[in-house]
Structure 1
Amino acid sequence: MLGQSQAIQAARAQLQRYAGCDVQVLIEGETGTGKELAAREIHYASTRREHPFVPVNCGAIPDSLIENELFGHGRGAFTDARSAQPGLIDHARGGTLFLDEVDSLSDKAQVTLLRFLQDNEYRPVGGGAARISDARIIAATNAGLEQQVACGRFRRDLHYRLNALYLRLPPLRERGEDVAELAAHFIQLVAARLHGPDKSWGGDAMQALLAYAWPGNVRELENVVLRAYMCTDGSVIGSAELLAAEPAFVDTASMPRHRVNEPDLGFSAAKLHAIRTFERDYLTHLMQQACGNISAAARLSGTERRQLGKLLLKHGIDTKPFRPH
């Protein structure tokens, strides 16, 4: 996990501490902040590093298959079960099972997982003797589970089980100059992947990168770097090439990313910065209250729905993570 900001260094320090404590971990962070990468850092820094790291997207498992996917099945358990098949819990034995988007689990799936976490005991579909797995569970979500519990969309007892250790990954907008280091790193990776010439960032383009709010975080930055590289014929990526790759930068290229109280920031720029920060924080809290429903949010804030939609678009706020599953 690249970066020298205080926020990412604190997160890395927590990851190292958690690697030495063999219990469940809950990782929360916005989309694209690197939750799976953080889970892998815990796994490979722990004594489990020689055993499997098994990632699974919880949102991709249908209710009818949840027990089969997690616990496997015995021969003859159902019509096409000609042989026994181990589940994800078996594959992760001795290692780590990473449950991404754990908030998307249905009520039935939550009960199934809770039963296993209570004593690490399970039975394959179709019966057979009970088995024990020592797989470590690391769960991740881009929606605050505490809020999901309060809204009745996630079981409180399961939340307690998963939340033995907790880590919040900082969004890219809280990581300051890490953007420059990551952008330089990704441009090298793109050149190597495409077997193309080395390219670098012009000063105006880098200023735009540092000013942008990055709603999609590190994953969005990686995609922007790829597109900017493809849009650049020369060896230096300027603001024109960056704008061709991502039109959203038209509103941020001229706005320095400083704290409001820095003396080199003029009054007008400081005022604009404060307004943008307030708007984004207000909109994020508003969407949490309205569970991602723009019409309900408009009523709560006394704003026209169309105007609210424009503000959400301006700040790159996706309503999907706030909606109930």
Structure 2
Amino acid sequence: MPPKTASELPNFVGKSEPFLRALAMVERMARFDAPVLIQGETGTGKELAARAIHYLSSRRQAPFVALNCGAVPDTLIETELFGYERGAFTDARQATSGLVAAADGGTLFLDELDSLPQRAQVSLLRFLQDKTYRSVGGRQDRISNVRIIAAASPRLHRLLDDGSFRDDLAFRINVLLLEMPPLRDRIGDPQLLAEHFVRRHARHYDVAERPFSESSRRWLADYRWPGNVRELDNVVQRALLLSDAAVLDLQPFAGIMFSRPATALGSAAPSSPLLRAEAQDASLPRYNDARAHALSNFEQDYLRQLMTAAAGNVTRAASMAGKERRALGRMLKKYGI
């Protein structure tokens, strides 16, 4: 039996009013075969919502195909979407279909739409207008029956204001608008999600489920969660796997743990000067280890402040930091932010 409501789908956990409003919109949008634009910060579940709309819709038996527009070089985005003909460029030894063809009859999900380059915006606009496209190097128009669902960060508004993103494309996609609330606005949901993640990861790793400490319950409610649900998932998974305590304290696992010299852990210093010198020499880390440790601490602190300043938007954060977006994404994934 296919699911009839969004709450029947896995991974939709929450009882807060903003979350339930979003779920109701997901169910309603699934009934109408129109383009959808999903907006929200990173980690709020935009792709999860897109999948829910697809699997609750009449297209559920057809493919759901996802493309992260920010992860594909500008020069390759059109070939990814529309495919290419043999000889279209140097390494095009045979014709290859794109994701639009792969999603025929189903749904094409374009994540990080605000990263789509101008040239690809023109091609996508044409496809949305009449459902026809032309492969790179091709001369024949093709038709594809695809529903477009796109996700964008809050910076899309700024791109529209400065002309970096086409107004007409935004109008074509923004027929149905779904706003995914940040976790900090979902009162009570962080604890429900944390308990859900404990159960899921305990089954996956074959370890015992454990309750949260009272301080962790308070912290779940008070923390701002710049990385939203994805960050919460990482913190819970880390605590469950790295702690042997009967109850889980989440706060120490909000960042990646590194080993420290014994003196940094509060051990008593030897009373003898000679013993103190020997202990200091034994606890002093190698230069490369100390440098790596300091760099890791700096990167974690910087990334958390950066994501807060960028309101959780990875593309905007990369611009603020002066880093290439994919490189920043790898760093965020490395530290579970």
Is this a same-fold pair by TM over 0.5?
A: yes
**Closer/same/farther in 2, CA of residues 56 and 315 from structure 1, 3 Å limit:** closer
Whichever residue aligns with residue 243 of structure 1, its letter is Q
Contact persistence 2:43–2:227 (CA under 8 A): yes
**Closer/same/farther in 2, CA of residues 87 and 197 from structure 1, 3 Å limit:** same
Contact persistence 1:143–1:321 (CA under 8 A): no
Alignment partner, residue 208 of structure 2: 197
Alignment partner, residue 21 of structure 1: 32
Alignment partner, residue 92 of structure 2: 81
Q: 1:51 aligns with which of 56, 62, 78?
A: 62
Alignment partner, residue 139 of structure 1: 150
Listed one character per residue, the Cα deviations across residues 217-240 of structure 1 (whole Å, up to 9, x for unaligned) are: 0001001101221332123113xx
**Closer/same/farther in 2, CA of residues 137 and 314 from structure 1, 3 Å limit:** closer
**Closer/same/farther in 2, CA of residues 106 and 247 from structure 1, 3 Å limit:** closer
Matches within 5 A, 1:109-148: 109-148=120-159
Normalised to the residue count of structure 1, the TM-score between the two structures is 0.75
Contact persistence 2:184–2:225 (CA under 8 A): yes
Whichever residue aligns with residue 86 of structure 1, its letter is S
Q: CA deviation at 1:129?
A: 2.4
Normalised to the residue count of structure 2, the TM-score between the two structures is 0.72
Alignment partner, residue 167 of structure 1: 178
Whichever residue aligns with residue 72 of structure 1, its letter is G
Whichever residue aligns with residue 189 of structure 1, its letter is R
Contact persistence 2:35–2:147 (CA under 8 A): yes
Whichever residue aligns with residue 207 of structure 1, its letter is R
- What is the rounded CA distance, in whole Å, between the counterparts of 1:131 and 1:148 in structure 2? 30
- What is the rounded CA distance, in whole Å, between the counterparts of 1:315 and 1:204 in structure 2? 25
- What is the rounded CA distance, in whole Å, between the counterparts of 1:231 and 1:209 in structure 2? 19
Listed one character per residue, the Cα deviations across residues 86-137 of structure 1 (whole Å, up to 9, x for unaligned) are: 1100000000000000101111121121121121111222224211111111
- What is the rounded CA distance, in whole Å, between the counterparts of 2:161 and 2:89 in structure 1? 38
Match of 1:201, SS?
coil
Unaligned ranges ≥5, structure 2: 1-11, 257-300, 320-324, 326-337
Match of 1:236, SS?
coil
**Closer/same/farther in 2, CA of residues 97 and 197 from structure 1, 3 Å limit:** same
Q: 1:243 aligns with which of 239, 251, 260?
A: 251
Q: CA deviation at 1:74?
A: 2.6
Contact persistence 1:56–1:100 (CA under 8 A): yes
Q: CA deviation at 1:244?
A: 1.9
Q: 2:308 aligns with which of 306, 309, 316?
A: 316
* Count of aligned pairs: 261
Alignment partner, residue 156 of structure 1: 167
- What is the rounded CA distance, in whole Å, between the counterparts of 2:136 and 2:59 in structure 1? 27
